[in-house]
Structure 1
Amino acid sequence: MVQGCENVRPALRRAPRVSYRWVDPETVLQEAGTLGVFGFGTGAVRSEDPRWLGVDLESFDAPTPLEIWQVDGSVTHGRAGDVQWSRGDGWLFAAITLDEATHGGPRDTAVTAYAQLCDFVASRRECHVQRIWNYLGDINQGDGDVERYKQFCEGRADGMGRFFADGFPAATAIGHHAPAMRLQVYLLACDEPGERVENPRQVSAWQYPRQYGRIAPTFARAMTLPGQDVLAISGTAAVVGHASAHQDDLLAQLDETLVNLESLLVSAGMPAGFDTQSPLKVYVRHPTDAPLVHDFLQRRLPGVPVLALHGDICRSELLVEIDGWRYA
């Protein structure tokens, strides 16, 4: 257990409700219970509110909806150093955006980002991290151990130290194409621990062999949130065991990814399939593939809210990745 982080008596509460909506951010920020609002790409309307985060990933959807997190009860918010945060009903949103130009490249920037976030969360009642998102520029640049993603993984591990000694949260790491080489990390935490979920079809990420870097990626495949049957799903791609599958075959990778998602649902004891209340994000490496991905998901996941974003997957041979939520 993280030092200073104590379990509280379980409360009957709902997990944050996640939705995609076409609305002005200031309008939704005035709604009761708004914990976080996310805009995507250069066209997103900005806000100075700490609950707002402009994500450095362009959307293939026009107009692009906002992603909105809402909880029951009142929400407070503020800033602490480089960290922006909000909290309400036992849940915490925290985010940090750092420019590599002033923090020394992907490794050192990740060290700083994770050290600040972990220090901040450890001081809060909502100290059990459930889910993390990581977005960094040129994620596949460099060969071998100097690849930017592998450097990020080393810095992340150093920055978090022993904070996740009891187990890692669910997570996503995607490369963006914004002009500024910024690292964006944001998270959802709670005052109760969740339950980690692994996929029997895949080697746990932290047990990957040496070929994937000096430090293996540190995340769980999914997390069942406390208090309810809600599954927060990590970035999921066409990985079987620890190996990438179906190189250069987009449709086969999409099909394998859906098999992995269904396997996660079984492991978590969730109902099969996704529905209109289970929003997903799909990250697509090549913009020219976006229409094919859209048609595939419309056919295979009819009615499911899907936000399609231009992002590079952490392995250069992977063309697509999906993360999101499953509400029972």
Structure 2
Amino acid sequence: MVPGSESLPSAAPERRAPRISYRHEALAAVLAETGTLAALGFGTGAPLHDDPRYLAVPLEGMEAPTPLEVWQVDGEVESGREGPLRWSAGAGWLFAAIELDEGEYGGPRDAAETAYRRLREFIAHRPEHHVQRIWNYLGAINQGEDDAERYKLFCEGRAAGMGAFFREGFPAATAIGHHAGEQRLQVYLLACDQPGRRVENPRQVSAWRYPRQYGRTPPSFARAMSLPGQDVLAISGTAAVVGHSSAHEDDLDAQLAETLANLETLLAHAGMPSGFDTHSPLKGYVRHPADAPRVLDFLAARLPGVPVLLLHGDVCRRELLVEIDGWRYA
């Protein structure tokens, strides 16, 4: 042994990012597989199961049957519950989720503050405390005017619940409105025992720097996160926003084209190859179900072979008709 080497920190193990896939398989079979970190079902047809690794998301799929979204890691997975919070962990990765009834907390602001505080307190004591990616689903996201809009109140509560936890930078995130009743708030995340690298889009103002017109508290997220290992990009909810302004109001095709331009810019800024492939699943959220066939046709033409899970969800700005998030594997 080299003198003094016993005090040298050991090199962090290389982390392979979770593999994300959409699968038309029985939930029980998916949960029985070694390495299943999380499984997500969608809409009223989602299966029922009490495994902490499973979460039923209140967004309806635009194609039937709607597949499961499955996260898998290289290793054994443990899981548990702490009150309304469920979690699972394995191979240096953590899935955590919380669902709250807003009616028990006085509305979207206080429910969001409670959800984020509970998640923060839980994660702070875990080795997997580097949050990479967060999803937020709340009902009636555009209800209310000016600073009383529910999404803006959610942003205030989220910031209060975060406290200084993300003082070194925000994770990637999505916030979408569901139609399963405005009282249901759902937040889930992916974290790791190693930090990722935040990626911004030079075509867009960073969300936390939005001007006052977007609320007393700006949204708190990075446009994307390059996961540990730098071989996977976790992409935040992306829409037709240029600078800080929404583009192409009421023009679905133009919004889709602008959204893809933003996605390509993110890939380039992250140092990743252009385009998406069959191993890079995307999730789309469409405001009007009647627009779903056009969205699917557009994406099939522009992104042939790319797995796309299209869901009925409201984008956080009323004028935006569609949003896309997902994963880009190198």
Name the TM-score class by shorter chain: over 0.9
Separation in 2 of the partners of 1:175 and 1:159? 20
2:263 is equivalent to residue 261 of structure 1: yes
- Return the match for 1:187 from 186, 189, 192: 189
**AA aligned opposite 1:266:** A
- SS state at 2:75 partner: coil
Residues 119-176 of structure 1, C-alpha deviation per residue, up to 9 Å, x if partnerless?
0000100000000000000000000000000000000000010000000000000000
Q: TM-score, normalised by structure 2?
A: 0.96
- SS state at 1:274 partner: coil
2:174 is equivalent to residue 172 of structure 1: yes
C-alpha contact (below 8 Å) 1:14/1:228 kept by paired residues: no
- SS state at 2:96 partner: strand
Separation in 1 of the partners of 2:10 and 2:150? 39
| Residue 9 (structure 1) shift | 3.9
Separation in 2 of the partners of 1:174 and 1:211? 20
- SS state at 1:261 partner: helix
2:304 paired residue number: 302
Structure with higher Rg: it is 2
Separation in 1 of the partners of 2:47 and 2:126? 30
Separation in 1 of the partners of 2:15 and 2:324? 27
Within-5 A mapping of 1:1-328: 9-179=11-181, 181-328=183-330
- SS state at 2:213 partner: helix
CA RMSD of aligned residues (A): 1.0
Change (3 A) 1:8 1:277: farther
1:3 paired residue number: none
| Residue 227 (structure 1) shift | 1.7
Separation in 2 of the partners of 1:114 and 1:195? 22
| Residue 63 (structure 1) shift | 0.5
C-alpha contact (below 8 Å) 1:100/1:181 kept by paired residues: yes
Change (3 A) 1:47 1:40: same
Residues 253-273 of structure 1, C-alpha deviation per residue, up to 9 Å, x if partnerless?
000000000000000000100
Give the gaps of 5 or more residues in structure 1.
1-6
Q: TM-score, normalised by structure 1?
A: 0.97
Change (3 A) 1:8 1:15: farther
Change (3 A) 1:201 1:28: same
**AA aligned opposite 1:43:** G
Separation in 1 of the partners of 2:268 and 2:244? 20
Percent of pairs with identical residues: 72
C-alpha contact (below 8 Å) 2:140/2:182 kept by paired residues: no
Separation in 2 of the partners of 1:266 and 1:213? 30
C-alpha contact (below 8 Å) 1:60/1:309 kept by paired residues: yes
Separation in 2 of the partners of 1:8 and 1:151? 44
C-alpha contact (below 8 Å) 1:8/1:192 kept by paired residues: no
- The runs of at least 4 consecutive aligned structure 1 residues that moved more than 6 Å come to none
Residues 67-98 of structure 1, C-alpha deviation per residue, up to 9 Å, x if partnerless?
00000010000001221000000000000000
Separation in 1 of the partners of 2:80 and 2:65? 29
Q: How many residues are paired up?
A: 322
Separation in 1 of the partners of 2:111 and 2:206? 25
Give the gaps of 5 or more residues in structure 2.
1-8
